């Protein structure tokens, strides 16, 4: 999906997002555990995973569609 000359940049962005998610996710899970109880981190994690699944399915679906140009 990514051009060979852009793969390093995309890998760096993915690594950055992964590290940010690990830091922010731990802080939010701890805060929701303390405020709402032991079930809250699991419910919020499920919601985030559902959103991520929906977005990834949309991206892969649009990437697999054939590119057609409209002629006006």
pLDDT tens-digit map of 39-59:
999 998 899 899 999 999 998
Residue with tokens 């929701």: 32
Note the pTM of the prediction, 2 decimals.
Answer: 0.60
Mean pLDDT score, 17-34? 93
> 3-class DSSP state for residue 68?
coil
Cα 20 off chain centre by? 11
pLDDT of 72 reads 59
Q: CB of 41 within 8 A of CB of 33?
A: yes
Integer Cα distance of 51 and 21 in angstroms:
14
Q: CB of 25 within 8 A of CB of 42?
A: no
């Amino acid at each position: 999906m990514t051009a060979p000359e852009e793969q390093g940049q995309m890998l760096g962005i993915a690594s950055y997002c992964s590290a940010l998610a690990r830091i922010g996710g731990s802080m939010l899970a701890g805060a929701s555990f303390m405020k709402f109880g032991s079930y809250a981190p699991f419910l919020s994690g499920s919601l985030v995973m559902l959103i991520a699944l929906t977005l990834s399915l949309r991206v892969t679906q649009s990437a697999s569609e054939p590119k057609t140009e409209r002629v006006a």
